[in-house]
Amino acid sequence: MVRTPDEEGLVKFLCGDRQFSEERVRNGAKKLMKARSGTTQGRLDGFFKVTTTPNPKRKADDDKKNAANKKAKSGGGGRGRKPK
């Protein structure tokens, strides 16, 4: 249940009881009405697009890391048992 703000009620309460400036209250009520009639906030995924092809540079970087990991795990060289 969404209702529009009662501008006259706001003016009566804020200006009469609370000593606010009538001009400022009316301008604030106009801004409130404009904001309520505007569009709603957009979704975050609307700013991004989905690509179907992977980034080739990212793939090359991953391949380099995988090659370095394989080399480190293979134990090529260093101290250890001597070959028979």
Task: For residues 84 and 33, give the distance between their C-alpha atoms in angstroms, rounded to a whole number.
Answer: 88
pTM, full prediction: 0.45
The phi, psi pair for 53, rounded to 5°, reads -100, 140
Quote the Cα angle for 47-49-53, to 5°. 160
pLDDT at position 30: 92
Residue 3 · residue 32 · CB < 8 Å: no
**Which of 4-13, 15-24, 49-58 shows the lowest mean pLDDT across its residues?**
49-58
pLDDT tens digit sequence for 28-83 = 999 988 888 887 778 888 888 877 776 666 666 666 677 777 666 665 555 656 66
